[in-house]
Amino acid sequence: MSAETMQAWRLQGFGVDQLKVDRVPLPEPGPTEILVEVSAVALNYRDLLVMDGAFLPDLERPFVPCSDAVGRVVAVGEEVERFTIGERVLSHYWVDWIEGAPPVPDLSRARSLGGPLQGVLAEYVVLDQAHAVRAPHSLSDAEAATLPIAGLTAFAALLEGHPVDSTSSVLVQGTGGVACFAIQFAASVGAHVIALSSSDRKLDVAQLLGASHTVNYHANPDWDRLVLELTGGHGVDRIIELVGGNNLERSLRALTFNGEIAQIGFLASPEARFPLPTLMLHQARIRGVAVGHRAAFERMVAWIDEHGLAPQIDAQFPFAAAPDAFRKLHAGPLGKVVLVR
């Protein structure tokens, strides 16, 4: 790389075949900004939706995708106070959501990295100092890169607000990035964790991550009944719901009285379909979780350093193989897919 340019992956159109590496000008930090040399970038399901045009179809291109990066600060603006050169930092997804309530009542109108804001799949990226947090000392670059969306989403769903504890039971659906973090976070506080997947191989890994019981929903299509059996007929206190659609009905039936569904994903459908009496008679809560704010991010980083959690990474790819990494993500990884430089 010359002193004036860098490489960046940019979408020229929609689809993984439209992801091309370009040489672009090296950005310069403004007064409150930091220049970060990117070490690793983690991929999320959201990045696939952006790439395929299913999310933000009016996105202006060429466009740098992805939101989750870790790297070292190599230059700072004259007004920067949060960071110094040499520190290792992580990008923060909802850039303006610092703590408490978000700046807008509907996060679809909020600014986020990787769409609508330019993303981080480049050798260098400029971030406002408010849009970054220090990386955990205990994690490698590849591990740390997995935290901004998947890690924080699971942390917010389980350990922020009304946190689960050793008296709680938690059902986690799937074995993707958010699900693996959820199993680890819940197990680390002593919760009874039930993992749900269609793959026995993936369920074996879920047990290694801390799941007390596993359920293969292909072998047990009425999995909600089995969850009730595993909880002595009481149901679980919290469900990490990643499927959507008709799955919500089974989730409600597997829930205890006054339990909570943390609605995070919609792999089957973005529409929720369930009988309202089931919701009412369980006196259940369905809480939407869309990542979290910077203060929670910083609490999670401290929590990880204290408890020694190691993120589950399925595959690592070199920076030059970004399209292959996205194809791996599309195939359904067991944990996270990460690009490293």
Q: Establish if 156 belongs to a structural domain.
A: no
Element (H, E) at 143: helix 141-144
Tell me, yes or no, whether 195 and 140 share the same domain: no
Indicate whether 128 and 198 sit together in one domain. Answer: no
**CB neighbours of 69 closer than 8 A, spacing ≥ 6?**
36, 38, 39, 40, 41, 42, 90, 91, 120, 121, 125, 145, 148
> Cβ distance 196 to 173 under 8 Å?
yes
pTM over 0.85: yes
Closest to 150 measured CA to CA, from 174, 116, 122, 124: 174
Domain at 307, CATH number = 3.90.180.10
Above pLDDT 90, what percent of the chain? 91
Strand partners, 216: 197
88-94-96 Cα angle (round to 5):
95
Flag whether pLDDT at 268 surpasses 90.
no
- Give residue-wise pLDDT tens across range 61-73: 999 999 999 999 9
> Which structural domain range is residue 171 located in?
161-288
Chain mean pLDDT for the chain: 96
Digit-coded pLDDT (tens) for 209-263: 999 999 999 999 999 999 999 999 999 999 999 998 999 999 999 999 999 999 9
Residues 144 and 18 in one domain: yes
Looking at 248, 272, 288, which one is the last position of a domain? 288
Same domain, 240 and 310: no
My answer on whether 121 and 191 are in the same domain is no
Q: Do 223 and 139 share a structural domain? A: no
Average pLDDT over every residue of 109-134: 96
**Single-letter residue type at 25:** P
CA distance 300 to 160: 9
Residue 1 is predicted with a pLDDT of 41
Domain count, the chain: 2
Q: Note whether 311 and 283 are same-domain residues.
A: no
Are 224 and 330 within one domain? no
> What CATH number is attached to the domain comprising 199?
3.40.50.720
Q: Is 57 in the same domain as 69?
A: yes
